[in-house]
Structure 1
Amino acid sequence: MFERFTHPAREAVIRAQFLARELNQRPIGTEHLLLALLEEPAFTAPALTVTFDDVRAGITRLTGPAPDDPDEDTDTADREALKAIGIDLDAVRRAIEQNFGPGALQLAREKPGSGPGPLRRLFSGGGGGHIPFSKRNKKVLELSLREALRLKHNYIAPEHLLLGILREGQGLAMQILAERKVNVERLRAELTQSLNYEAA
């Protein structure tokens, strides 16, 4: 499945882990994936009438921070969870550095001397260890593949990830969207139309 992910979709999945860690929460849920999609510059969906701040506030209000479990081997657990859905972090790191050169994971927005950025921390194992994906979020990633296949696409873009969230329908992301009165049917239709336009 990994090879089907576009670069922005991969970035969103990776960023979801960083955002969950930043919120001191585990596992990585559908809400963290939604938050990561809203932060992805290449992703636009006018019918998604929520902002990054709306979703982040909703997550904090509904869940609060979860306590860390220092005894859990989160690095291994997360790598195994990602491998289960076809994402090998080491392969991603190698591919990025092969295509863009050593140090490519050092993001441009990082300030010199400020330490490693979120992607570098993720791949190097720093930044508090890895966090596993929830079963519901793994299901969303599987459903994003099904949405891509349904639309006869051989790739998974951020829009497919959001369609996976909508199709799963039960996660905290959906609860936040419902509370914010997002028109889910309109959003689904808009995402499908956008993907079909891109594929044409």
Structure 2
Amino acid sequence: MFARFTEGARIAVVRAGILALDAGRPALGADLMVSALAEVRPFALASFTARADDVRERVGVGDPRSLLATLGIDLDAVRCRTMAGTDDPLLWSLRRSRVRPLRVTLYGPLGRLPLAIHASKVIEVAAWRPGPVTGERLLWGLLADPANGAATILADAGVDLPALVREAGIPIRRAA
């Protein structure tokens, strides 16, 4: 499935998977995709003003660096030694189950991680139109489903959602 993804979009999905694995989550959720987009920024959208730290705080994935530093542990050094090269997007793949077509799984050197239903919807919406899957298309997938909480996370982080939707070219469904 990654064949149509731009490099930035692929890096964002892989980063979301690594965040989920680091947090010990059983599945990759849409909230971590928002966090990964805020970190990676696979687009040049001026109206996407959310900072990675603000989103991480709202998603509930804290940064354990300060806690571990009090114990004398440098988390960055540990990760460099144990996870060297595992964040290379070329080592990861995104596959749909042949038996259960709605089930999408992210596979990589750190293991496999199923996508939660809302995260699967993000991928489906992003890949719906022909052409490359970009960071803007991932953002469209996140904002297309109000039940996944992405819009709330971004609004709480200070993003002007109507301006972001206009700038990203996300189609708006008008009430009849």
TM range (shorter): 0.5 to 0.7
Q: How far apart, in 2, do the equivalents of 1:23 and 1:154 lie?
A: 33
TM-score, normalised by the number of residues in structure 2: 0.66
The answer on 1:167 being equivalent to 2:149 is: no
Q: How far apart, in 2, do the equivalents of 1:190 and 1:140 lie?
A: 19
TM-score, normalised by the number of residues in structure 1: 0.59
State percent identity of aligned pairs.
31
Does the CA-based 8 Å contact 1:140-1:165 persist in structure 2? yes
1:117 maps to: 85
Alignment partner of 1:156 out of 117, 133, 147: 133
The answer on 1:189 being equivalent to 2:171 is: no
* 1:117 Cα deviation from its structure 2 partner: 3.2
| Number of residue pairs the alignment of both structures matches | 139
What's the C-alpha RMSD, in Å, of the aligned pairs?
3.0
- Indicate the structure with greater helix content: 1
Letter matched to residue 120 of structure 2? K
Residues 2 and 125 of structure 1, relative CA distance in 2, 3 Å threshold: closer
Deviates more, 1:169-178 or 1:52-61: 169-178
Residues 119 and 43 of structure 1, relative CA distance in 2, 3 Å threshold: same
Letter matched to residue 136 of structure 1? H
Does the CA-based 8 Å contact 1:143-1:168 persist in structure 2? no
1:93 maps to: none
Alignment partner of 1:130 out of 100, 104, 112: 112
Q: How far apart, in 1, do the equivalents of 2:151 and 2:85 lie?
A: 29
Letter matched to residue 112 of structure 2? H
**Any gaps of 5 or more consecutive residues in structure 2?**
62-76, 93-106, 171-176
Residues 142 and 41 of structure 1, relative CA distance in 2, 3 Å threshold: closer
Does the CA-based 8 Å contact 1:29-1:172 persist in structure 2? no
2:125 maps to: 143
Residues 120 and 186 of structure 1, relative CA distance in 2, 3 Å threshold: closer
